[in-house]
Amino acid sequence: MVMEYNPKIPTLRPYIDPDNQGFWDGVREHRLVIQKCKDCGLVIHRPRPMCPRCLSTEREWTPSMGKGVIYAYVNVIYQNAGYPGIKAPYSVVVVEITEGVRILANLYDIEPEGVRIGTPVEICFDDIADDLTLPKFKRLNS
């Protein structure tokens, strides 16, 4: 475990609404699903009301393989530059998954000093509280 949470300071919750509920429902069930336009097939993240390409409001949740590479990352070093409920240092990564969208999350098994752009990773899920599961990424095939 490379993330250390302070149970006294609850992790910030996502604001779940009718546009993004499918994504967070999937995360709770340990499945990564991505919004897809039923009309033109565009895969979109983050979830939104309509397809930005064809403006269709017909949406579905398509399962993702959950594999990708680290596209960018930040190592929060100074506690006040991060969240007080997560012990610094910790990493936040943007991962470009093979379906072509980018997902922001934390890492499961890579320490901050070992993070590199281009590292292949795959999705995993961390039940960090009774009512909160977050997607994380770990080294591919680890």
Partner 1 sequence: MAIDSIKDKAAIVGIGVVDFSTDIGRTEWYTACQAIKLAAEEAGVNIDDIDGMVKSVDDGPDPTYTGKGLGIDNLLYHSENHWGTSAMMNAVHAVAGGLCNYCVYYQTAHRASGPEKCISDFLVAREFRDDSLDMVRYDYFSPFGLIGEPGYVAMMYRRYMHETGIKPEQLGWVPIVASENAARNTNAIFFDKSITIDDYMQSKLIADPIRELDCAPKVDGSIAIVITTPERAKALKQEPVIINSVASGYALEGQNYTSYTRDVITDLPEMENMAKELYRVGGMGPKDIKVAMLDDTFAPYVPMQLEALGFCGKGEAPAFIEGGDKIRVGGQLPVNPDGGEIGQGRFITTRIVEAVRQIRGTSTNQVANTDTVLVASGAGGPADGMICRKE
How far apart CA 40 and CA 29 sit, in angstroms, is 27
Comparison of 48 and 141: residue with beta carbon closer to partner 1? 48
Comparison of 106 and 122: residue with beta carbon closer to partner 1? 106
- Please name which of 112, 37, 108 lies closest in space to residue 66, comparing C-alpha atoms: 108
CB 69, min distance to partner 1, A:
12
Given 117, 120, 140, 142, the residue binding partner 1 (CB under 8 A): 117
Using CB under 8 A as the binding rule, whether residue 30 contacts partner 1 is answered as: no
In total, the chain counts a number of residues equal to 142
Binding residues among 91-110 for partner 1 as defined by CB under 8 A: 92, 94, 101-102, 104-106
| Residue 30: alpha-carbon gap to chain centroid | 12
CB 87, min distance to partner 1, A:
10
Non-local (6+) Cβ contacts of 26 within 8 A are 32, 33, 61
How far apart CA 94 and CA 73 sit, in angstroms, is 6
Given 2, 42, 61, 112, the residue binding partner 1 (CB under 8 A): 112
